[in-house]
Amino acid sequence: MDRFQHEPVMAREVLELLAAVPTGTVVDATVGGGGHAHLLLESRPDVALLGIDRDADAVAAARERLAPFGDRVRIVHGGFEDVAEIVRREAGEHTSEGNIMGILFDLGTNSPQLDRPERGFTYWGEAPLDMRMDAATELTAETVVNEYSEARLAEIIATNGEEKFARRIATRIVANRPLHTTADLVGAVKEAVPAPARRRGGHPARRTFQAIRMEVNRELPNLAEGLDESVHLLAPGGRVLVLAYHSLEDRLVKERFAKWAGAREEQPPGFPVEPEERGLVRLLNRRAMQPTPEEVAANPRARSARLRAAERLAARTGS
């Protein structure tokens, strides 16, 4: 399972933020190959770890890599949108709802997924249009590009991919149906995007692939659900950390954290704040932390990372 080992992004910053949490369990809600988890277990011998991942290959790799830590570790297959249910199901000697002291979300695809063309995440080469993080789920990228309406495709590509040529791309995808491979999709995008735009700003299909991947894996809805569960799992002094890699994810995290902290000035006009959810956390960084230039030089995939963290406050008592 060496193929699933990769350099964890902003590892130093993550470890520093988790160094102060009380003894208990840390949930790595996107354990991947176990990179962050391994470093945390080494640096904090007083904590246990519950790792979750929707990719079965990642689960197997993390179990192998973290086996030396024995019963301090439990790795399970699942999605972080079900984090509360998973914590309840896995409750045991080290894990319970009352001793969750840290929750880490490291969002997006990981290097091993991108580096394996057969998974269909990358626009380089030719592979099946898959893009599923969990191979047990039904929806694939091939279904999205061949069965969604043109209007729905345009909406997804514009919203998830923030692609200004979304309508043109959706029109070309529909005209080129059926599409079966990543090369078919790349070809449709290149036909739709004007030549001057294709020559700047990276690969012309990057945003479209991102948008379809996010649709296949319900990334934004799952993130919202996972975040909303996470804050209520944490014990006082526990911390939730989120590593996001594009603006939609980071915006959602920023809004959720601001809502829980009651920081109205952080929220867009009209953003609802339920009174019972104000004052749940304190923000540990008002601005998202970013990787150092040295880390970006060593690991270019870290370039877009944004790290936010919040600490759970003690429950308020009535007067």
Q: What is the mean pLDDT of residues 70-82?
A: 96
pLDDT of residue 5: 60
Q: What is the pTM of this model?
A: 0.88
pLDDT of residue 7: 83
pLDDT of residue 90: 87
pLDDT of residue 269: 41
Q: What is the mean pLDDT of residues 61-81?
A: 96
Nearest to 111 by CA among 245, 242, 206, 8: 8
The residue ranking higher by pLDDT, 174 or 124, is: 174
pLDDT of residue 52: 97
pLDDT of residue 315: 74
pLDDT of residue 95: 59
**Strand 48-53 vs strand 306-312: parallel, antiparallel, or unpaired?**
unpaired
**pLDDT for 265 beyond 50:** no
Vertex 202: Cα angle to 35 and 164 (nearest 5): 110
**pLDDT for 240 beyond 70:** yes
Phi-psi region of 125 (alpha: psi -120 to 50; beta: other; left: phi over 0): left
Both ends of the chain: CA-CA distance in Å? 56
